[in-house]
Structure 1
């Protein structure tokens, strides 16, 4: 029987990277959720208003995100099911299951709202496209990306999203090399501290935009699609389950998953940190940087049109990639909890409507982004608590269940994230 032997449940006999490069990918796709327009707005505002003060929040959030995404992926690998599927089978009461689905669905739609708006704003900045038309274009392109996933499977979809992630990285980090941050300021920002309620609000916003419920749901499903079953065997065949749960195979996949999550979080964390440092070094005290349009204008004025264009291109890629992954997560939530599967493209059309309505009503895009983060805050406990509880259960994962220290780390991360998201809700709703 295999035994866990470390905080992250790695086998003592396997420490080198997996030989099969093709095993990497699901975490890179899920990691796009950490680079969506909400992250850009939060990190840019934090750097412009507080300089290097909240560097430690980005770093701490990335560390917690690593653990959470690994647990989500492990659930999909070991069980062959996504988190919504496992919960759908455990929630026997029909109304409890429907209530859970409703909050998860609202969270996914709020996420999608932010991503469509981000894409629309980017098209407006680049080509002066009206926001409503930009929302249509962003939604249409995301439908094309989802068609790739529908017709070609998980791997081609991963390649497309990873390519967009590369564009996002270049777009958002280019300015840091043009105007580097102060090393002493960066080091000083690693010391945990706040300066008033405003910095607490932004810290909670950064974490709320970093660790999002739909990324947890999506990662378990992405890992299931790639690794949770052997497609060459008939699903009803008893040999299928034996092949899927063979210990050496699971061990190899979990090793690959740890590398996959590590690479994805290094990229996502570096980009988020780069956005904050870019603003801290070049936009400190500049008015109007609390909006995407204002940040773009400030970059153009301070660093030139080339850096500003890179930023807008990165924002566009961010909106396109993250809204595609968000639609995938939403479809999985419906399938897993309601046992209803509707075509992914049809669901894309349905979830596109709220964003287009808001754009059509000329609602301030920045306000819409802030409100979407508030909705996300409500959904954090409903994703984190079941994830940590299920991965700690031998009933669910057998010998692959978390070690005690892994569970403790998951509980601590969950408590901190839930507390900060509660603070975000309080500060936003009370206007503090």
Structure 2
């Protein structure tokens, strides 16, 4: 019997029990989100503040939907999909997650290695190997708990640092209020950056991971209240404050003072020097370093989670196969240090590419939550409406991003993203069609289709 129900916990006990969404928040408050916020503020001033605000709210809704599914099934998402929809749907989900999180893993490692090199003067490629080994040893030895502890410490420090920056960098409150009006500035570029901002909070990686971290915590439906508290503190409060504070700081300091097209971490930091002093560059790079470390810790868990779940391995470091897969994922990320180019622009692209794969996983979660054969009780109308709204906005931004890639001319990368997007769009339409056909026919369970 459980020693204590969630309802009987004090606030301090709930705080000490926080975990799954805090790890998701560590990925969300990572260098890719910082890059998207820096690019948005430097390029468009306060115009995209509305996207920053809704990203935290939409992220909380998406995480709660995933949590609710995990609490009801006590399964990871891949296992639930395979049980209810079949193996082919499960493999498509695995491919979607591995591609999105794998691309992110390489670029985030590049960021970590490059920043380490800038701070120390040591070759970034050597730093890539060093950090990959540290990551492999830490995660293969401690698994989820090590990643969770690191996330709590580092994200807390990052939030405090950026909130403190608000007292240094002046904010034009009138101009900022105008940014709460929904608009997408500058066509293609604005769509890319908006997709990047939303992709930081509503992302296939953290939605999928939530079902596994809830399971790793051993939470059940009795912990629903604790889960809501976890999401509120981690995603709405911590991530929301971090996002808004970061955006207001960079919009106030960088807009009109730097060239957005040639924006780098060093040029962004240098633009902060007149306001924050000579230590601005080191502080900005240190913030990126901390964000990259915490994000890599969480992101490295995701591909092994879904692959092990599909292969029916135990998702714990006590299983040597899972532990080896976790270590291999960490070590392979060292290849990111050899990628050329500026990591700020590449980080924005990481989130935008992740947005392409997100509507599919949102559709899976919503369909399964409304499937009587999966969960005993469907979500209420308000939560369903919220989920549909998140799915719609994510789909529109993903579509805008894909069209922007086509409009700017196809490259091997953009062509791959286009093909990826087409496959997932077709799969999403088929999935929703199966669900609606079943509901219109008077059934309560989604049709299983191989």
Aligned to 1:5: none
Question: Structure 1, unaligned stretches of length 5 or more?
Answer: 1-10, 229-243, 245-249
Who is 1:231 aligned against?
none
Structure number with higher relative contact order (C-alpha < 8 Å, ≥ 6 residues apart) = 1
The partner residue of 1:343 within 309, 322, 325 is: 322
1:255 counterpart residue number: 225
* Residue 36 of structure 2: aligned partner: 42
Larger mean CA deviation between 197-206 and 139-148 belongs to: 139-148
Give the ranges of 4+ consecutive aligned residues of structure 1 lying more than 6 Å apart after TM superposition: 13-16
Residue of structure 2 equivalent to 1:232: none
| Alpha-carbon distance in structure 2 between the residues aligned to 1:294 and 1:334 | 40
Corresponding residue of 2:23? 29
Provide the residue aligned with 1:240 in structure 2: none
Query: Which structure 2 residues correspond to residues 11-410 of structure 1 after superposition, within 5 A?
Result: 20-93=14-87, 95-147=88-140, 149-150=142-143, 154=145, 157-197=147-187, 198-228=189-219, 250-251=221-222, 253-265=223-235, 266-288=237-259, 290-300=263-273, 302-340=275-313, 342-344=321-323, 346-350=325-329, 352-353=331-332, 355-399=333-377, 401-410=378-387
| TM-score normalised according to structure 2 size | 0.80
SS, match of residue 21 in structure 2: helix
Q: Deviations over 1:95-126 (max 9, x none)?
A: 44333322221111012123212212321232
Q: What's the CA shift for 1:363? A: 3.9
C-alpha distance in structure 2 between counterparts of 1:361 and 1:15, whole Å: 48
For the residues of structure 2 that align with 1:139 and 1:73, how far apart are their CA atoms? 30
Q: 1:107 to 1:359 in 2, by over 3 A?
A: same
Query: In the aligned structure 1, how far is the partner of 2:172 from the partner of 2:203?
Result: 30
CA shift in 2, pair 1:14/1:391, >3 Å: farther
Secondary structure of 1:67's match? helix
Contact 1:143/1:324 (8 A) holds in 2: no
Mean alpha-carbon deviation: is it higher for 266-275 or for 283-292?
283-292
Instruction: Give me the whole-angstrom Cα distance separating, in 2, the residues matched to 1:101 and 1:291.
Output: 33
Distance in 1 separating the partners of 2:14 and 2:233: 15
Q: Is the 2:63–2:210 contact (alpha carbons within 8 Å) kept by the matching residues of 1?
A: yes
Stretches of structure 2 lacking an aligned partner (at least 5 in a row): 1-5, 315-320, 410-450
Query: Does the CA-based 8 Å contact 2:137-2:327 persist in structure 1?
Result: no
Give 1:20 shift.
Answer: 4.1
Q: Which residue pairs with 2:391 in the alignment? A: 414
CA RMSD, 1 decimal: 2.7
3-state SS of 2:47 partner: coil
Q: Secondary structure at the match of 2:301?
A: helix
Partners in 2 of 1:125 and 1:422 — Cα distance? Answer: 36
How far is 1:371 from its partner? 4.1
Per the normalisation by structure 1, the TM-score is 0.83
Q: Give the match's secondary structure for 1:135.
A: helix
Distance 2:18 2:44 in 1: 37
